Amino acid sequence: MFQDLVKTSSVGDVQFNTKADIKLLTKESVCSSSQRYQIPIDSKPNIFSCLTQYLILGNETVMKAMQSVGRSKKVVSIEPGNQGKFNFDWEVRSSTFNAFTFDYINSLASSNKENNFLELSASFSDAYADLLDIIIYTLSSLDKSKLEQATSDQSRQANTLVTQYEAYVAPITDEVLRIAKKELPSINNKVDYVIDYQFCYIWSGRKMQEKPPLSLRELAGKRYLSTQFPFIPASAQPLINRLARWLEVNSSVLPLLDSVNKSNYILSIVKQNTRFPKQENGGMSVLLRDGNTQYRIGYRINMSSNDILNHLNNNKQKLTIHTSTKTTKIDITYSGFTLISISPIYFNQDTRKGWYNPTLIAQAYKNKQKDVSGYKFVRAPAINLDESGDFGRLSALLISKYPTIQVTKKDSYTVNITPAMDNNTVADYDRLAYVIGGVVEYPTVKN
């Protein structure tokens, strides 16, 4: 019966995913002599994913071994069907990432507490981008009140500043405001346009340097304000004295204004870099399945492809799982196992590169509907952000060569099962490793 199952698996999928099926291995009349079989690794579910997963789940020896490899990281076994087909050769060309590798490490991960394994689905970066779209930065009621009071006190100075700008430089039209707001989301009116956009962003040279606008506190502390605006036109020079008066009147709320401007700026750039990755903002070139390349959000793996291959070929580094009944013993051996770390390209405010900023998600999750200043969700997320919820990111994978399985019937026979795949005979792009387990990180949980 087991012989028939194995032979069937070489031509199609094997429904070998229940404990009842596994128990066929321990029956008296499974085979009558020693056998060796090769199982195609593209069978899904196949004998490797089903049998090894059954033996791993709940096996204390395996769990201890996985944790010893992971050291301080909690390695959890991967759900059936996702252990195989991990394309470890991620460097397919100079500065080009393997799309198959990208799709795996960019999976959305969640813990199945009932069965104690990691479920992989969809795209983590897509779920992340959807969350960014429903985040805003807001002030608490108290901070809003402070700002409104200060605004009424300085309205004369602000109106004079706008009037002089339109008289000396150019009219501020709705189209001008729209363009400015696209670059700096904090631009909501003509005062914002003159101070935050023109003075702090354009005339300061920060836009040219691809840096955030000058903070208002930086300006307020400068003795010679004119030196901060090297690109101010001659016609706008009279506005500097008016800006100095405005800063003096608003000195008590400058930290609040800076907080709003900076927070909205960061959110805007992170959203842009996530939705529209390119080389200039930290995106990476990915070789697609059809041979074309496309820029995707950036990831790093802590080992080169060659180093990973060397680890996989180290047959001295092996993990063997033993299980038995009164009459049958089953051994599964994972050779060349190693733990690889996966890191997204974190957002860097100074360079404006990178896409991953878990602080935005974590703060919005923490703040919920509290009356505090900070990031918040405008509506409840469609995904569960709780610890061990649906929004997990793979931060490491425990991989090995495809395992070998040996079934020994006491005083009778031995069956050896090996994968019909050799990484030395396939193109680099298609070289595969077996995933034993993974480490998941939740952005809303402090690690």
Provide the pLDDT for residue 332. 84
The mean of the pLDDT values for the chain is 81
Which of 55-69, 200-214, 356-370, 432-446 comes out lowest in average pLDDT? 55-69
What's the confidence (pLDDT) of residue 2?
A: 33
- pLDDT one-digit tens code per residue, 85-96: 799 999 987 789
pLDDT number for residue 447: 58
Task: Calculate mean pLDDT across residues 246-251.
Answer: 84
Note the pLDDT of residue 47.
47
Q: Please report the pLDDT score of residue 67 as a whole number.
A: 55
For residue 114, pLDDT over 90 is answered with no
pLDDT of residue 62: 53
Percent above pLDDT 90 for the chain:
47
The more confidently predicted of residues 387 and 119 is 119
Percent of the chain residues topping a pLDDT of 70: 79
Of residues 263, 265, 266, 243, the one with CA closest to residue 255: 263
pLDDT of residue 220: 84
pLDDT at 322: 78
- Of 259, 265, 255, the closest CA to residue 184 belongs to 265
* Residue 74: per-residue pLDDT: 81
Average pLDDT over residues 222-232: 91
53-57, 356-360, 441-445: range with lowest mean pLDDT: 53-57
pLDDT computed for residue 324 by the predictor: 77
Q: Which pLDDT score is estimated for 217?
A: 86
More confident residue, 198 or 428: 198
Q: How confident is the model at residue 151 (pLDDT cuts 50, 70, 90)?
A: low
Of the listed ranges 73-77, 148-152, 326-330, 373-377, the least confidently predicted one is 148-152
Residues 32-41 pLDDT 10s: 334 444 444 4
For residue 97, is pLDDT > 90?
Answer: yes
User: Residue 65 — very low, low, confident or very high, per pLDDT cuts 50/70/90?
Assistant: low
If you average pLDDT over residues 348-358, what whole number do you get?
Answer: 94
Per-residue model confidence (pLDDT) at position 176: 96
* SS3 sequence of the chain: CHHHHHHHHCCCCCCCCCHHHHHHHHCCCCCCCCEEEEECCCCCCCHHHHHHHHHHCCCHHHHHHHHHHHCCCCCEEECCCCCCCEECCCEEECCEEEHHHHHHHCCEEEEECCCCEEEEECCHHHHHHHHHCCEEEECCHHHHHHHHHHHHHHHHHHHHHHHHHHHHCCCCCHHHHHHHHHHCCCCCCHHHHHHHHHHHHHHCCCCCCCCCCCCHHHHHCCCCHHHHCCCCCHHHCCHHHHHHHHHHHCHHHHHHHHHHHHHHHHHHHHHHHHHCCCHHHCCEEEECCCCCEEEECCEEECCCHHHHHHHHCCCCCEEEEEEECCCEEEEEEEECCEEEEEEECECECCCCECCECHHHHHHHHHHCCCCCCEEEECCCCCCCCCCCCCCEEEEEEEEECCCEEEEEECCCEEEEEEECCCCCCCCHHHCEEEEEEEEEECCCCCC
**Above 60 in pLDDT, residue 10?**
no
In this prediction, residue 291 carries a pLDDT of 85
User: Is residue 259 predicted with pLDDT exceeding 80?
Assistant: yes
Q: What is the mean pLDDT of residues 133-143?
A: 95
Q: What local confidence, expressed as pLDDT, does residue 445 receive?
A: 81
